[in-house]
Amino acid sequence: MKLIGLSKTGDQARVEFFRCPLRCGYCTHIRMDKEERQVTEVVEFLADPSVKDVYIGGAEPTMQKKELLDLLQRLRRMNKRITLKTSGNDPAFLKSTIGIVQRFVIEVKCPLDDIACNSRLVGLPPERTRKYLDSLNRTLDVLKGQNVRVWIRVIPGFVTPERIESIGKQIAGRASEVYLYQFMSDPANDAPFGDITAPGPTETEMVALARQLVRFVPRIVVRGKGFESEFSGSG
Ligand code: SF4
């Protein structure tokens, strides 16, 4: 399997896969060099009994389905708690992992019917963006009822209050929680995009977006540079 990262800290471990079908202009992960690993080697690394939770992300893990499924099944047999982060491009595969994965993290970038906004963010022409959004929509449908965290990277000028309202309506009943992440608050996650070179929006703006979303999704986590808060159904 081809990875861009394999690490453990305390009881948590991370396995980060190489390659992604999207081309987001701010992505730091698609520019990283790959390292070749055997699944058995990765499993041995994670077999450490102190590791309880394994986060699998990347770039996009489902691009290497055979190796990913093998890894997931072996981790499950070791009773590890598995979180799988995906851009939602392979709903059929993701459906097959229900019962193995404890939590899905699915990134939503703009409203699911806004081709222009998504196309700009994912760096694909409109027709390929349409296909990606169709897959993402089907993923949210097949994982309905599962533990699904929708992850939103709030990029100033793109993720506006109007668009958050649309996203809220579209993911209502399909997400257990939303994680609102302030763009560029973690340099490991984002490269500058257009003229955006510093963390934003402000904490106040992020909290306002969370208050909007909590009308649609039971729990919202907001995190940015120097702040973190949570909102639940009561707001
Ligand atoms: S930001 Fe995520 S979805 Fe976009 S290219 Fe990078 S790994 Fe893929």
> Which residues face 152 on adjacent strands?
180
* CATH, range 1-105: 3.20.20.70
Task: Give the whole-angstrom CA distance, residue 8 versus residue 103.
Answer: 19
* Residue 130 to residue 117: CA distance in whole angstroms: 11
**Ligand 1 atom with minimal separation from the 28 CA:** 6
For ligand 1, say whether the CB of 191 is within 6 Å of any of its atoms: no
What mean pLDDT do residues 92-110 have? 98
Q: Kindly give the number of the ligand 1 atom that is closest to the alpha carbon of 20.
A: 8
Return the SS3 of 204: helix
In the block, tokens 């402000």 appear at 202
Q: How confident is the model at residue 233 (pLDDT cuts 50, 70, 90)?
A: confident
Q: How far apart are CA 56 and CA 65, in angstroms?
A: 13
Q: What is the mean pLDDT of residues 41-67?
A: 97
What integer is the mean pLDDT of 122-138? Answer: 98
Task: Please tell me the residue having the least CA distance from ligand 1 atom 2.
Answer: 59
Question: What are the sequence ranges of the domains in the chain?
Answer: 1-105
Q: What is the mean pLDDT of the chain?
A: 97
201 preceded by cis ω (within 30°)? yes
Confidence (pTM): 0.96
- Residue 235 pLDDT > 50: no
- What is the reported pLDDT for 201? 98
Distance CA 218, CA 171 (A): 11
Ligand 1: does its nearest atom lie under 6 Å from the Cβ of 20? yes
Residue 27 beta carbon below 6 angstroms from any ligand 1 atom: yes
For 89-119, b where at least 16 C-beta lie within 10 A, e where not — what string? bbbebbeebeeebebbbbbbbbbbebbebbb
Cα end-to-end distance, the chain, whole Å: 43
Ligand 1 pocket member 136 (CB < 6 A): no
Task: List pLDDT tens digits, range 27-45.
Answer: 999 989 999 999 999 999 9
Q: Is 202 helix (H, G, I), strand (E, B) or coil?
A: coil
Q: Residue 234 above 80 pLDDT? A: no
Predicted local confidence at residue 31, as pLDDT: 85
Structure tokens at 62: 């489902």
